[in-house]
Amino acid sequence: MPILGADGTVLGVLDLTGPAAIHQGHALGLVGLAVAAIEHRLLETVPPGCEVLRLHRDPGLLGTPREGVLVFEGRRLIGANRHGLAFLGLSWGDIGAEQAGFHGGAAAPGLLALRDATGAPLYGRLQGVPAPARRRPTGETVRPTAEAPSPEGPKSEGPILDPGTEKLLARAMRLIDAGIPVVVEGETGTGKEVFARAAHTACARAQKPFVAVNCAALPETLIEAELFGYEPGAFTGAARHGAKGLLRQADGGLLFLDEIGDMPLALQSRLLRALQEREVLPVGGTRPVPVDFALICATHRDLLRMVEEGAFRADLFYRIAPYRVRLAPLRDRPDRLALIRALWARSEGPARNVTLSSSCEAALAEAEWPGNLRQLAACLKALAVLAEAGEVLGVEDLPEGVARPASLAPTPRQEREAGRLDTIACDAMWAALAENDGNVSRAARILGISRSTLYRRCLSGRTR
């Protein structure tokens, strides 16, 4: 049985083969169920700027692979699955055309009671960015737009920012509102995309799309089509109705180009032209399409050094980086303990009455966290999931690699008495501290050890 994409394109085939002499009457049914599950999984995510209508004659089957799924851009149907087309009496040839709508009203909060063109009852849910709601007279045509209530849950809480980052965010918001691009720099896991989303939420374009593009994850052969879109039949395997591209999806909103330093040089010139002219030429197209979006780029690389080495276009760098924001790594944040407590409060731990002991919090605050906020958040989530209800977590419950605070470690005197090698190591640490005017972080980096190790070996129980 063929596996079809949202536009009817054949993506693959699922085959079940067995001995011809043995009749397997259920085999085709199994294959059909598997294909339906695959095609349903392909339509799980709501595309930016679109609404997704999920419907079935039985409301209990909404959310299952047997539901019908239709994706709309305004009133234009741009994608569907087999069940969705069958419920509405449509075919794959109707993809790309505007639909008149259906009749009905609200059945319950988050649930629509619809009727198709023949008057048969349907139940549906609408996902997407809701437009301002209005009361609809009985019997008025119900179109699959964002006027219906959305079943989305409550929004997640905002990011936890230290005062320095809040100042940077306020500046970035003013620049975005003025149409000036911003480049966010920082190590992996420092929250560059979180920063960009917070800037989008606070700026004047908050009600418009936020489109995030990971330049390092897009295949080099398809990145141009993904960014700029393409016309129908532009290349082998292209969707029959073409594609808008990510830049056009961000029209009116904010475009976030993550890992901009990994964008191929050949594509950088096309991006520069799109930014300068404020228009996009789709692959295979002849007429540019105007676009309007704010731009935030992010990278963990040193773009200025890449420009000097010829690995990044200088003209694009000066176009996208009139203002650069550098996010501090977690090890340099002064509010680590408060941050850990705030992140823990958002985890599953407090709901199950799981708490962190003071020694555990101290060990978490002193750890190096090379993966920064991403690594810390994942560690706290794992601790919350693995703990028993009502448990108080100690240092012994921390995963391997998280340093223990100095108070729980053997004293430096005890360690030096264990042998001359320890004495030499401790003397080297003191020498590094002296050379760096007592700066623990700098001395630890020079020695290639963690700050907590330096505290434990030299600063606890010994003075010079």
CATH number at residue 174: 3.40.50.300
pLDDT bracket for residue 458 (50, 70, 90): low
* Shared domain check, 247 and 134: no
**In the predicted structure, residue 117 carries a pLDDT above the cut 90:** no
Residue 148 in domain: no
Residue 12 placed within a domain: yes
Q: Does residue 157 fall inside a structural domain?
A: no
For residue 386, give the CATH number of its domain. Answer: 1.10.8.60
256 CB burial (10 A radius; 0-12, 13-18, 19+): buried
Of 334, 331, 335, the closest CA to residue 343 belongs to 335
> Of the given ranges (173-177, 223-227, 272-276, 400-404), which has the lowest mean pLDDT?
400-404
The torsion of the CA quartet 292, 311, 243, 44, rounded to 10 degrees, works out to: -100
Q: Which pLDDT band holds residue 176 (cuts at 50, 70, 90)?
A: very high
pLDDT at position 282 is: 83
386-443 pLDDT, tens digit each = 888 888 998 888 887 775 444 444 444 444 444 455 667 777 777 777 777 777 777 7
Nearest to 447 by CA among 421, 418, 426, 422: 426
pLDDT (mean) for 160-164: 83
Query: Do residue 68 and residue 176 come from a single domain?
Result: no
Cβ distance 353 to 389 under 8 Å?
yes
The predicted structure's pLDDT at residue 434: 73
Average pLDDT over residues 345-353: 86
Please report whether residue 49 resides in a domain: yes
Mean pLDDT (the chain, rounded): 79
The pTM of the full predicted model, rounded to 2 decimals, is: 0.55
Does 130 lie in the same domain as 27?
Answer: yes
Q: Which of 142, 175, 204 corresponds to the end of one domain? A: 142
Which is higher by pLDDT, 309 or 130? 309
Co-location of 179 and 271 in the same domain: yes
Does 50 lie in the same domain as 16? yes
**CA 151 – CA 148 distance, rounded (Å):** 10
Task: Tell me, yes or no, whether 89 and 33 share the same domain.
Answer: yes
Asked if residue 388 and residue 300 are part of one domain, the reply reads no
Kind and range of the H or E run holding 294: strand 294-299
> Cα(105)–Cα(293) distance, rounded to whole angstroms?
36
Domain harbouring 433, CATH code: 1.10.10
- What is the predicted pLDDT for the residue at 256? 93
Distance CA(95)–CA(344), nearest Å, equals 46
Taking CA atoms, 428 is separated from 84, 431, 450, 454, in Å, by 71, 5, 14, 11
Is there a single domain that holds both residue 72 and residue 175?
no
The residue out of 142, 177, 196 marking a domain boundary is 142
Q: Is residue 189 part of a domain?
A: yes
Q: Domain span at residue 420?
A: 409-459
Return the percentage of the chain with pLDDT > 90, whole number.
Answer: 22
Given 326, 360, 375, which residue is the final one in a domain? 326
Instruction: Specify whether 167 is located in the same domain as 27.
Output: no
Q: Which two tokens stand for residue 87?
A: 């419920």
Do 198 and 291 lie in one domain? The reply is: yes
pLDDT of 278 strictly over 80: yes
On whether the CB atoms of residues 80 and 144 are closer than 8 A, the answer is no
Same domain, 172 and 320: yes
156 within some domain:
no
Distance CA 325, CA 414 (A): 46
402 lies in a domain? Answer: no
Q: Which residue has the higher pLDDT, 235 or 189?
A: 189
pLDDT at 110: 56
Hey, how many other C-beta atoms are within 10 angstroms of the C-beta on 43? 20
Number of domains, the chain: 4
Which residues are within 8 A (CB) of 463 and not within 5 positions of it... i.e. 6 or more apart?
none
* pLDDT tens, position by position, 356-386: 999 899 999 988 888 899 899 889 998 888 8
Same domain, 322 and 336: no
In a domain, 153, yes or no: no
Most confidently predicted of 162-166, 436-440, 444-448: 162-166
| Higher-confidence position of 149 and 300 | 300
